[in-house]
Amino acid sequence: MKTNNKVKWDAIQQKFFNLRPLKEKKKRMELLRWLINEDRRKRSVSSENLYTKVDFNVIQVLHDLNKSCRWALHPDKLRAQANYKSYLDSLVFSEDLHENRGTYFLLPKAVITLEEYDEAERRHKEQITVSRILAFLTLCLFLGTVFQAAISF
């Protein structure tokens, strides 16, 4: 009787899990950042792992991002696998990862790519701030000119 209840409870949990979309919306650089963080986390577990390559595959990425095995029974699992495979393959093409028979390894260039991306994002945010300040100052000059013209008439 207990086993039957556990099976029913598990089926109910799976149904609710299937109602949610799988976590497959990570962008390419977010995925690269996650892979680098996972690589560092796995290497820091023991000193023996410091110089070994940490490998990843699509199934492991989906499992770790969704924090459960339930994604394997999700109706959108094939689409999610295809999306992450294309992201990982694009990182292989840009030489941030190395692929060997469906297993991916981080290359040192991945850290450089991520740092360049972060620097470009920082510059972009600075440019937006400067643009907003210039727009505000232009508006102030315009209003000052209109006010001065109104006074002179």
What's the pTM? 0.69
- Tokens of residue 44, six digits: 């820091």
Q: Are 128 and 122 in contact (CB under 8 A)?
A: no
Examine the domain organization and report whether 112 and 101 are in the same domain.
Answer: no
pLDDT (tens digit, 9 = 90+) per residue, 62-118? 777 777 776 677 777 788 788 888 889 999 999 999 998 888 989 889 999 999 999
pLDDT of residue 39: 86
pLDDT exceeds 60 at position 44: yes
Number of domains in the chain: 2
Separation of alpha carbons 131 and 139, rounded Å: 12
Residues 98 and 53 in one domain: yes
Q: Cβ atoms within 10 A of the Cβ of 22, count?
A: 21
In a shared domain, residues 78 and 10: yes
18 pLDDT band, cuts 50/70/90, is low
**Domain membership of residue 139 as a residue range:** 108-153
Do residues 97 and 104 touch, judged by C-beta distance below 8 A?
Answer: yes
> Residue 126: which residues within 8 A CB-CB, separation 6 or more?
none
